[in-house]
Amino acid sequence: MSPQAGFVLLDQIVPRLKAAVPLVVNRVGSEDPGELVQDATAFAARMMDNIERSKKKVTPGNIAYYTIQHIKSGRRSTGSSTADVYGSQTQLRGRTRLTSLDEIAAGSEEGGGEIFTFNDVLSRDEEDPGTKAARNLDWNQFFNSLTARERSIIQFIIEGRTLRSLGHLLHLDDRIMHTSKRNLAAKILDFMGTDILIEVRRLPQWKQDLQAIREKMECREQRRHL
């Protein structure tokens, strides 16, 4: 696009787009008027470049008009797919619909009328696979370094059986078994770290980030009404 066409775009077309787009174009999803004006400007620039290459003459008003019509129909400078679930045209035609995870999914009549959002319904509080795999590697390394008695203690605890039953099986009294259990606990803390109990109860990082974003938005909304 030539410099002259660029000046026409900035001086005569963009002001028309800024005045009309926020009023006549339906926003889809998270789009805002500023983004739509920018998208329309890119669309108009491409149209002007094509017209200039074909050596045709079109008024700035016509370019602004047809650009607005394209944006209204759901076309964007980045594409106009009707199959992409995030595409503007796809949503304008009613084929898909974006729903915020903070929207209410259901309400519970029990427990004081607790409200559940889609985020609460669809998300899981499990750790990500990478964290779980790393912890399993650490545990396997630690478990292989234990004695046969210590491994048996862990196995009996997992199964919900008492140390006394293990002591009877190994022909050891309760004092020796409790001493072995304390020594095992000290080994776990030494190998895993003193904050291991805090780490296993901590929410996944993605969950913490989501909560932080929600709290930030709530604070911002409260400040707007002060």
Q: How many CB atoms within 10 Å of residue 67?
A: 27
- What's the first-to-final CA gap in the chain, in angstroms? 49
Portions of the chain given CATH number 1.10.10: 129-201
Which DSSP helix (H) or strand (E) runs through 196? helix 196-201
CATH class held by domain 129-201: mainly alpha
State the pLDDT at residue 206. Answer: 67
Closest CA to 18 of 73, 71, 59: 71
DSSP 94-141: TS-----TTSEEEE-SSTTT-EEEHHHHH---PPPHHHHHHHHHHHHH
- Provide the residue type at 222 as one letter: Q
Angle at Cα 211 formed by Cα 226 and Cα 206, nearest 5°? 150
Q: How buried is residue 39: exposed, middle or buried, by Cβ count under 10 Å (0-12/13-18/19+)?
A: buried
Q: What is the pTM of this model?
A: 0.43
pLDDT in tens, the chain (226 residues): 788 888 888 899 999 999 998 888 887 766 788 888 998 999 899 888 888 888 888 898 999 999 999 888 878 777 766 667 666 767 777 777 777 777 776 655 554 556 677 766 666 666 667 777 877 888 888 888 888 888 898 888 888 888 888 888 888 888 888 898 888 888 888 888 777 767 666 666 667 777 777 777 778 777 777 6
